[in-house]
Chain A
Amino acid sequence: MPQLISGFQTEWVKVLNKGLVTLPKNFRDTVGIRAGDVAKVRMVGRRLVIEPRDLADYEVYSQKEFKQMLQDDKLPKLLAKKTAKIWPELQ
């Protein structure tokens, strides 16, 4: 059974051929990983962290990156004028 150690639950699992392991059922149930799901595995130092898909940390653009993206997305003036009303409902 998992042990509670300073707020962390740990359990030993056997690593099989090609790195296969079984995630303990109560861990899977707690974080919401189900059979057939895609989970993300990250290496943090010498630890492996497995995250359910809905916790995946999608990239957040920095202000500098965001500004540059908008700059790169600008159309030449003439074309921008022509396209000014392509989405009139969203102006």
Chain B
Amino acid sequence: MAGTPIIKVFLDASVLVAASASVNGASAYILHLARQRKIKAFVSEDALSEAVKNVNLKLGDIGKERLNAYLIRANLKLVISPEAEAIALCEKFIHFKDAPILAAALSAKADILLSLDKKHFFTKSVADFAKAMKIFTAGDFLKRFFR
């Protein structure tokens, strides 16, 4: 990737949760790429809070430990919360619980949004609204950009 601009990737909460569940999955690999600065990875307050809630509810202490380690070591950039108007606009295209995450990804001007939430993020209306920002699962992103 030398000479090419580093891809800006926004991570949905599901990616952080999946990486906390398994260190051998695609999401953990994405965080590894962020640690190596091969991608620029962004998260938002809402994505983090959703991840913390799900890790606390579904994974044990090891999950919490992994999430903390990613937050410390993966060079994640925190996106400030988008304006209420931007969130309200996103709610027209995506489930209201995911609107703050979509709005944050757009405000970060991310090239890619990674999510494992296929039900809410992988719809035609979201893709049309997000325009230039493409939405992939972590695995599909790796297949496409890091073979």
Contact = CB atoms under 8 A, between A and B. Distances in A.
Interface of A: 38, 42, 56-61, 65-66, 68-70, 72-75, 79-80, 83-84, 86-87, 89-91
B57 interface: yes
Contact of A69 (B18, B28, B97): B18
Interface of B: 13-14, 17-18, 21-29, 31-32, 46, 49-50, 53-54, 57-58, 65-66, 69, 81, 83-84, 87, 96-98, 116-119, 137-139, 142
18 contacts: A38-B84, A57-B97, A58-B13, A59-B13, A59-B97, A61-B14, A68-B118, A72-B137, A73-B25, A73-B26, A73-B138, A74-B139, A75-B29, A75-B142, A80-B24, A80-B25, A87-B32, A91-B23
B58 A66 contact: yes
Given A58-B50, A90-B69, A73 B27 contact: yes
A72 B118 contact: yes
A89 B69 contact: yes
A19 to B, nearest CB: 12
Given A38-B87, A66-B17, A75-B29, 15 more contacts: A56-B49, A58-B53, A58-B97, A59-B98, A61-B17, A69-B17, A72-B139, A73-B22, A73-B26, A73-B116, A74-B139, A83-B29, A83-B32, A90-B65, A90-B69
A54 to B, nearest CB: 9
Nearest to B147: A79
Nearest to A71: B116
B23 A87 contact: yes
A71 to B, nearest CB: 9
What is the predominant secondary structure among interface residues of chain B facing chain A? Answer: helix
B117 A74 contact: no
Chain A interface SS verdict (over half):
loop
Contacts of B53: 58, 60
B31 to A, nearest CB: 8
A70 B29 CA distance: 14
A75 B24 CA distance: 8
A48 to B, nearest CB: 13
